[in-house]
Amino acid sequence: MFAHITGWGKALPERRLTNADLEKMVETADEWIVSRTGIRERRIASDGETTDSLGAEAAQGALAKAGVTAESVDMVIAASCTPETLFPSIANRIQERLHLKRAAALDLNQACTGFIHALAVAQGFIATGQYRTILVVGTEILTRHVDWNDRATCVLFGDAAGAVVVQASEEPGGPLAFDLGSDGNGGDLLMLPIEGKLCMNGREVYRFAVTAMTASLIAAVENANITLDQVSLLIPHQANSRIIHSAAQTLKIPLERVFTNVEKYGNTSAASIPVALCEAIEEGRIKPGDIVGMVAFGAGLAWGATVLRWTSQVA
């Protein structure tokens, strides 16, 4: 069985926090933030919004796009590193919100690489024939975990959710290959303690990110027996525009074949790639038959990449 993406959706808090707003909160400047990260604003969850409420909103859009009923969903996989509770899980709460009474529920925490890892898990369940319809959600509220006095990190992160419906089909398509990995020796370079605030060694994470993303995408392309030239559009993790541009340059992929929206949302961790996927579709950047690459890096230190053949109509 092949695992096709048949629906997609996103959810973004209404509140925008611009660089000008941050200038009033911490010692920083718009020019400094933009030149080093490419970020101009980010979304901030309201008091009433949660990872599961944002995730459910994105999932509802994906289910509607796919034309899938609640009774048809076999499993919910929620990728996130910012749950409100350790249990019940985010996936359990999304299941309850959307009345997915038949669905198994699973949380997956692999930080910014979470969506790609969750997509790989979904593909595995479908390939074995165990499930036919899986909802994959990436949802994060990182702004509740940053130190707003730390100008090196508070400018980077935002809140969002994105989701896809993955369905079984006998027709070829969907993920052609994955590359997933982790190096625990770098675990202390990017960390969110259970009781504490997010901390990061930005210089070392930057160095790791460019190397990891390029190597991982190359490995996924080789595993799929294709070439980088065949990748119609690359959707990288939206953490930093300089990292994205450096990786694209190393891979010799022109920027017109790379999708970015980091300037609008900042780093939304596991929500980053599914939100970018939705917006790439909205902008007409993906059509049936295209090979789409996705690659991410994150805490762990972890990395992940996939290349997939797009099959769904996007109009």
**Cα–Cα distance measured from residue 154 to residue 125, given in angstroms and rounded to the nearest whole number:** 37
How do strand 291-298 and strand 233-236 relate by DSSP bridges? parallel
Give catalytic residues, as residue numbers.
112, 237, 267
Name residues whose C-beta falls within 8 Å of residue 53's C-beta, 6 or more positions apart in sequence.
97
CB of 78 closer than 8 Å to CB of 106: yes
**Cα–Cα distance measured from residue 265 to residue 89, given in angstroms and rounded to the nearest whole number:** 25
**Cα–Cα distance measured from residue 145 to residue 142, given in angstroms and rounded to the nearest whole number:** 5
- Report all structural domains of the chain as residue ranges with CATH numbers, in order of start: 2-169 (3.40.47.10), 174-309 (3.40.47.10)
Task: Say if pTM beats, i.e. exceeds, 0.85.
Answer: yes
**Cα–Cα distance measured from residue 292 to residue 239, given in angstroms and rounded to the nearest whole number:** 19
pLDDT, tens digit, 9 for 90 and up, residues 282-292? 999 999 999 99
pLDDT, tens digit, 9 for 90 and up, residues 102-145? 999 999 999 999 999 999 999 999 999 999 999 999 999 999 99
Structure-block tokens of residue 216:
């991982």
What element of type H or E holds 92? Answer: helix 90-97
Closest Cα partner for 295 from 306, 284, 280? 306
**Beta-bridge mates of residue 219:** none
| Main-chain dihedrals φ then ψ at residue 166, nearest 5 degrees | -115, 125
Low-confidence ranges of the chain (pLDDT < 50): none
pLDDT of residue 177: 98
CB of 2 closer than 8 Å to CB of 172: yes
Structure-block tokens of residue 106:
């699973």
Between the CA of residue 19 and those of 24, 54, 271, what are the distances in Å?
9, 24, 21
Name residues whose C-beta falls within 8 Å of residue 65's C-beta, 6 or more positions apart in sequence.
6, 7, 8, 9, 165
